[in-house]
Structure 1
């Protein structure tokens, strides 16, 4: 655009910080409002597939991500006993590695430092309390009492997005899938040189992901009642009960889990905003618009792609409405492909019934999806 924009990013997670950096480097004025009191991310580690790493390269932080994590090129598939069934080389996007495991706090640090270097203020402990879009701009009041007018407000505020509720009410609330994700950080086994996926006779899947030379995380996807929560005193024992049938490296990793400390449990839910992702000059992106199950490990990748493409769309268009329409036209099909195939894989891996449409997607499978997703975003 001929005139730089004023953009408020609601949410200082992976997608929000990526957008802030990309916009600031294009000359726009950006601020981030983040509800948490610090950027340090909760959880354990995260997988950055090659398309996500390509975005990091566009931001100039690829080397920092790789240095803080553990790059890898091959996906290993094992049976429940731990025997290797296949080693599948993963495709690359450009010069980025096929994948990188990284501790979530380290990724938050890398993106936080890039945001600071781009000159973007981050208002911690702050959220939107009032918002009025008059068509030409958005008047916003934040919880710290400050008020300002913005050309665009972008909600990268996660699966529980308060901005989504403000725009659409409860029409697109998170839908629980019936499954949950357990994760815990353990010492890396020497043989775990990339992601290791173990599946078998039960409806449980286990995964090992290296995130540094010294560490990896163990993840398990299990069927759980919606109201189940682990016992804080014996979460590690409950995890071991669910993985009792697994041998090999999963069993070795599990043996290192000797207390409930560090066991992270989260229900797997999905969000699909079926209406346009923007209402006037307020737009949703990432998990706020299209949260997926983790079966393709593409949730964060879709968020950073959303961010970079939105920044480019704003630079290329003559006005905000045209930019938002072009951005969504470019992003929706790709995000829905990831969401729909991820859900189909979850059903297949856990023995749940699939629809004819999901059966068609499953013909693509994880190997095919990896090749699709290293195509330009």
Structure 2
């Protein structure tokens, strides 16, 4: 096992959290720096549990979260008029991202999980790496983990000539609806994954747990999304709030202008099955997620390693992003626990994770291309 290390983690979502918990148990000095000062638990909805995610949840002692699942027993395809064109058995389970985040976060002290601390870059040192903060302060570490997601600042140090995300040519408009407000036309399909696909359009809805992990009928939420073409030039407008603030990769809930909401509703009424169009008429305004991907050439450079979306960003069609992030954290902890040196551990981690990460990104591109969603 590698000697106890001073490890600093940039990014406090699932990959960073899981890595910190596992490495803390190995006796490492771990600390997460999360840029956002807000509670992250409102940022997720339902998680599809893959093998790696369930394994990681068990390893960090959060198995109770995965047992609070909403089950779906079939998949229904609608036509544009709202008729059912296919209805077939298809089992699936989804549990609460919010509950998982809060449960995992509670396993770290406030000294180990620092919010509102903005890391602007990471630098190589002869015997480690340094994180540099927005206020100019620096902190040295034996190992720096980049778990800072789609907007990663750590990735540029790992591969300076290949660090930018690729825009896929479309965005997802999303609404999370309380189950009590589910349109009547979907009431008989509340235990199904419901989808509508047409060239340039894909829309999907399914039930997920409530914000605190509630799985009882009537207390759950309905997660709905609509993938729509959008040119790169349009993103500037799409990701600008009603008061003029500009975001780079998404538009958060509640910030869309009234004019754009009304345009969105008109488009939905013209293009979507009536059951889905009715969702857009609810009081819950959509948020927008730009669809990007990143195909990595490496995950390690010196004493710096990338996990989760910072290392390899796949489009959401494969539904494995959180599982991959959790698997990365377990793989890194395993490598550090088995190797004699940091370099040996990082080489083992990259051998274990790079090829599968590349496959995941390429597979997500293939699915996206088959849906013909790009404008």
Q: TM-score range with shorter-chain normalisation?
A: 0.7 to 0.9
Structure 1: distance between partners of 2:194 and 2:354: 29
Cα distance, 1:13–1:195 mapped onto 2, change above 3 Å: farther
1:240 aligned to 265, 273, 284, which one? Answer: 265
Aligned partner of 1:198 in structure 2 is 195
Cα distance, 1:55–1:248 mapped onto 2, change above 3 Å: farther
> What do residues 198-230 of structure 1 show as CA deviations (whole Å, max 9, x unaligned)?
133342111113222431111111111223234
Q: CA deviation at 1:14?
A: 1.4
Aligned partner of 1:293 in structure 2 is 315
> What do residues 230-255 of structure 1 show as CA deviations (whole Å, max 9, x unaligned)?
45214443333443333264345334
Aligned partner of 1:89 in structure 2 is 90
2:335 aligned to 304, 313, 329, which one? Answer: 313
Give the 3-state SS of the residue equivalent to 1:159 in structure 2.
helix
Which structure 2 residues correspond to residues 17-28 of structure 1 after superposition, within 5 A? 17-28=17-28
Contact persistence 1:154–1:285 (CA under 8 A): yes
Cα distance, 1:302–1:84 mapped onto 2, change above 3 Å: farther
Cα distance, 1:156–1:79 mapped onto 2, change above 3 Å: same
Structure 2: distance between partners of 1:234 and 1:59: 45
Structure 1: distance between partners of 2:359 and 2:74: 21
Please report the TM-score for the alignment, with normalisation by the length of structure 2. 0.80
Give the 3-state SS of the residue equivalent to 1:200 in structure 2.
strand
Aligned partner of 2:205 in structure 1 is 208
Aligned partner of 1:338 in structure 2 is 360
Structure 1: distance between partners of 2:87 and 2:359: 25
Aligned partner of 1:161 in structure 2 is 152
Give the 3-state SS of the residue equivalent to 2:363 in structure 1.
helix
Aligned partner of 2:62 in structure 1 is 61
Which structure 2 residues correspond to residues 1-377 of structure 1 after superposition, within 5 A? 1-41=1-41, 43-51=43-51, 52-67=53-68, 70-74=69-73, 76-80=75-79, 81-83=82-84, 85-90=86-91, 98-102=92-96, 104-116=97-109, 121-129=112-120, 131-143=122-134, 147-169=138-160, 171-188=162-179, 189=182, 190-193=187-190, 196-212=193-209, 213-228=219-234, 229-230=237-238, 232-244=257-269, 245-247=271-273, 249-255=275-281, 257-258=282-283, 261-274=284-297, 276-350=298-372
Contact persistence 1:7–1:150 (CA under 8 A): yes
Cα distance, 1:32–1:44 mapped onto 2, change above 3 Å: closer
Structure 2: distance between partners of 1:135 and 1:74: 55
Contact persistence 2:196–2:273 (CA under 8 A): no
Give the 3-state SS of the residue equivalent to 1:205 in structure 2.
strand
Q: CA deviation at 1:306?
A: 0.8
Q: CA deviation at 1:186?
A: 1.1
Aligned length: 337
> What do residues 19-56 of structure 1 show as CA deviations (whole Å, max 9, x unaligned)?
11111122222100111113424545142323223321
Give the 3-state SS of the residue equivalent to 2:27 in structure 1.
coil
Give the 3-state SS of the residue equivalent to 2:117 in structure 1.
coil
Which consecutive residues of structure 1, in runs of 5 or more, have no partner in the other structure?
91-97, 354-377
Structure 2: distance between partners of 1:88 and 1:332: 34
Contact persistence 1:192–1:210 (CA under 8 A): no
Structure 2: distance between partners of 1:217 and 1:280: 41
Which consecutive residues of structure 2, in runs of 5 or more, have no partner in the other structure?
210-218, 239-255
Contact persistence 1:222–1:242 (CA under 8 A): no
